[in-house]
Amino acid sequence: MEGARKPAHILLGSGGIATEERRERYRSIVTEHFSGFNEVVFVPFASQDHSAYTASMQEFLGGKGPTLLGLHESSAPVQTISEANAIYVGGGNSFLLVKELHERGLVSPIRESVLSGSPFLGVSAGANVACPTMMTTNDMPIVHPPSFNSLSIIPFQMNPHYHPGKIMFRDGEDLKEHFGESRARRISEFHRLYDTPVLGLWEGSYVKWDGSRGLLEGRATAFKSSGESLEMKDGAIFDAVLDLM
């Protein structure tokens, strides 16, 4: 991102690590983003087993990454966040994550810490919670958060795990099209009520956001409330309303 300050935030559409290539790529993204930080506060609240999730992510990073400090272990989580040098929000269920953040009084402290300069990395639900609201998640409402309002670290909405085309299913030896509603249709329903643009982040893609501009690694589709959509390719630079720069 020539001429821009170093991106402070990384938003990944997926933490999917099904192949060794993706595992290694994921490790490198995390370790490079948090280079220079020995400890990073890890927010595991999108998962129901906070300790197991934190331990599994630490094990996955191995000796290449920073030490993850599970926020669930802090007796003063608001203070921990206010003193955090870097914050990593893991993936899982967005409803569960937002509920926990609100009930623990962490929404404003995390936002203030990040906007004050603490590097932030969010994966899947962790990327969705960086938006103004969680209303463009794909997750099932397994719990009822007191509010859909999220961190507002970025000014647009995201739809992690976005799938752009036909959904196929296997019928015996044949692949057939499933005629259920698409992600684009769901996003259009959001835009009947709200004007905020939505970035559909394809699987395996991520965004570097520096506070005013985003750099796309991978692919994405930008949706506007006007009904317009724009396919973004690897290396695209865009602004706060998802217009290319």
Non-local (6+) Cβ contacts of 6 within 8 A are 210
Check 124, 150, 191, 205 and give the catalytic one.
Answer: 124
Residue 161 known to be catalytic: yes
pTM for the model stands at 0.90
Token representation of residue 164: 């752009």
Residue 188 known to be catalytic: no
Residue 124 known to be catalytic: yes
**Residue 2 covered by a domain:** no
- pLDDT tens-place string over residues 162-216: 987 655 555 666 655 655 578 899 999 999 999 999 999 998 899 999 999 999 9
Percent of the chain with pLDDT over 70: 89
- For residue 227, give the CATH number of its domain: 3.40.50.880
Check 94, 139, 150, 205 and give the catalytic one.
Answer: 139
176: which DSSP letter?
A: E
**Residue 155 covered by a domain:** yes
pLDDT number for residue 2:
39
Check 9, 33, 72, 161 and give the catalytic one.
Answer: 161
60: which DSSP letter?
A: H
Total domains in the fold of the chain:
1
Q: How far apart are CA 58 and CA 49, in angstroms?
A: 14
pLDDT band at 129 (very low <50, low <70, confident <90, very high): very high
**Residue 1 covered by a domain:** no
**Residue 96 covered by a domain:** yes
Contact between residue 146 and residue 96 where contact means Cβ atoms under 8 Å apart: no
Q: Which residue range forms the structural domain that includes residue 125?
A: 9-238
**Residue 149 covered by a domain:** yes
pLDDT number for residue 190:
97
- pLDDT tens-place string over residues 214-230: 999 999 999 999 999 99
Of 224, 164, 221, 163, the closest CA to residue 194 belongs to: 224
**Residue 3 covered by a domain:** no
